């Protein structure tokens, strides 16, 4: 089981192959989230633990929302004329 939590070595992922019924609660949760765009569910494959399923949900940010700027925490600048220095 600990092999599934090891992310330091090279990783192997495959489609999770979960049924719609299993994914229904996740779909409902993501539909209500404005910031969520596309989502992917993948399964981490580990030969030393073939009986375990370790699934990861990868969620892309919605394209309609601006990406926060790492330095100011605000929307990223589209052009130099619209950028403002942080008001600290």
| Total domains in the fold of the chain | 1
d(CA 85, CA 80): 11
Position 24 in a domain: yes
Size (the chain), residues = 88
Position 87 in a domain: no
CB atoms inside a 10 Å sphere around CB 2: 8
d(CA 80, CA 64): 21
Burial bucket for residue 26 (CB in 10 Å: 0-12, 13-18, 19+): middle
Per-residue pLDDT of the chain (88 residues; tens, 9 = 90+): 676 677 787 778 888 888 989 999 988 888 888 888 888 899 888 888 788 888 888 888 888 777 666 555 555 555 444 444 444 4
For strands 54-61 and 13-15, give the pairing. Answer: unpaired
- Taking a C-beta distance cutoff of 8 angstroms, is the pair 26, 57 a contact? yes
Position 60 in a domain: yes
**What integer pLDDT is reported at residue 24 of this predicted model?**
92
Q: Which domain holds residue 50?
A: 2-82
Tokens of 76: 């990223």
Position 88 in a domain: no
pLDDT per position as a tens digit, 4-15: 677 787 778 888
Position 56 in a domain: yes
Position 48 in a domain: yes
**What integer pLDDT is reported at residue 5 of this predicted model?**
75
| pTM of the shown model | 0.56
């Amino acid at each position: 089981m600990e092999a599934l939590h090891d992310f330091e070595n090279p990783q192997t992922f495959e489609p999770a192959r979960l049924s719609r019924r299993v994914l229904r609660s996740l779909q409902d949760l993501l539909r209500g989230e404005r910031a969520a765009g596309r989502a992917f569910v993948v399964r981490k494959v580990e030969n030393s633990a073939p009986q375990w399923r370790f699934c990861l949900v990868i969620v892309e940010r919605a394209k309609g929302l601006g990406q926060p700027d790492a330095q100011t925490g605000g929307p990223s600048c589209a052009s130099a004329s619209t950028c403002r220095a942080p008001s600290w």
